[in-house]
Amino acid sequence: MATRLYPHRGLNVGTGTFPTTEQDSETATMSLSLGLQTLSEGIGTYGALTPEYRSASTGANTSLQKAFIGFWSTAPLSADQTIGGAGETISINVADNESDLNANFRVNRAHVYVWRPSTGALVGDCCTVATTITGSPAEPTATAQYQVTEFSVDLSAVSALTGDVVIVELWSFFTQSNGFSRNVRVMLDGTVESTGENTVVTDHAAFFEFSQTLTFTNPETQLSHQSAVIFNTATVTPVAAVYNQSGAVFATSTSNPAVAAVSNQSMVVWYLGQTSSEAIISSLRAEVLTTEDDYTKRPRTFVVT
């Protein structure tokens, strides 16, 4: 089963050490990245998001230009697994734009690799910008118009461990027809998925689709109608909704920030070990908000801030 991921704007919030610049052996001559050293949170589900536009001015020359568009990280892998291998691919779908057709700009390269945040090391390349692509990504057919660009790349096998992430870099290699500087753009996020090379779009949800099933750590949990539950998370920005419980323990001692909504509980023990954490609690007979509180003494209600 294919895994479709949506590149979103915003800083990567994963824990550990992440790359601070592109990892391909090629050297970028220009960048459309929102700061070349900004790693974005790339794993996400489809949603109604305001489109993000990345732009840059080309060099005023007719030499080969290598534009680094940005890089996005998935959430941590939830189990040891092999990324890529025989018959496995990644399909890229984005929308690009150029102020003049002589720019010859389009997104046409990708670098996919496994990264180990626990050690801050590149584990292995699934593909590089030099890897042969499938498809014919073409520049837009009209000026100042966003059009879909699609291509796919074969992925070599890389053995990943639990907690590793997959990072996707997007690039464009292009040569202008004459030596004038132009403005080139790429659209991300958005609310509408569109396919088909050179399809005209005004609101486009770009995506990366792996042909294989990838499993990631999911920081969101919803629990209901349990007789007891212990929810302990070490992930970043976890969200939990727990309700109609006879007993609940929610621990966020390694997370910052964390948000929990708990209701209709007969007992809740809330371990709050970080700042900038929020709890929404209602209809509770008792709650304990720090590890120093004696939760065996019931019934009572108190809040420790």
pLDDT, residue 189, reads 81
Residue 304 has pLDDT above 60, yes or no: no
pLDDT, residue 272, reads 46
pLDDT, residue 299, reads 46
Q: What is the mean pLDDT of the chain?
A: 78
Q: Give the mean model confidence (pLDDT) for residues 16-33.
A: 90
Residue of 219 and 143 predicted with greater confidence: 143
DSSP string, the chain: --EEE----SB---SS---SS--SSS--SEE-SSSTT-EEE----------EEEEEEPPSSSS-EEEEEEEEEPPPBSS-EEE--TT-EEEEEEEEEESSGGG-----EEEEEEEETTTTEEEEEEE-TTSPEES-----SSTT--EEEEEEEE---EEE-TT-EEEEEEEEEE--SSS---EEEEEE--S----STT-B-SS---EEEESS---B---EEEEES-S-EEEE--SSS-EEEEES-S-EEEE-TT-SS-EEEEES-S-EEEE--SSS-EEEEES-S-EE-STTS-TTS-S------
pLDDT, residue 8, reads 78
- Choosing among 2.60.40, 1.25.40, 2.60.120, 2.40.70, the CATH entry for 3-210 is 2.60.120
Segment among 49-53, 181-185, 236-240, 261-265 with least mean pLDDT = 236-240
Hey, where are the domains in the chain?
Answer: 3-210, 220-288
Residue 287 has pLDDT above 60, yes or no: no
Residue 187 has pLDDT above 50, yes or no: yes
pLDDT tens digit string along 85-113?
Answer: 999 999 999 999 999 999 999 999 999 99
pLDDT tens digit string along 231-275?
Answer: 444 444 444 544 445 555 454 444 444 455 555 555 555 544 444
Residue 15 has pLDDT above 60, yes or no: yes
pLDDT, residue 302, reads 44
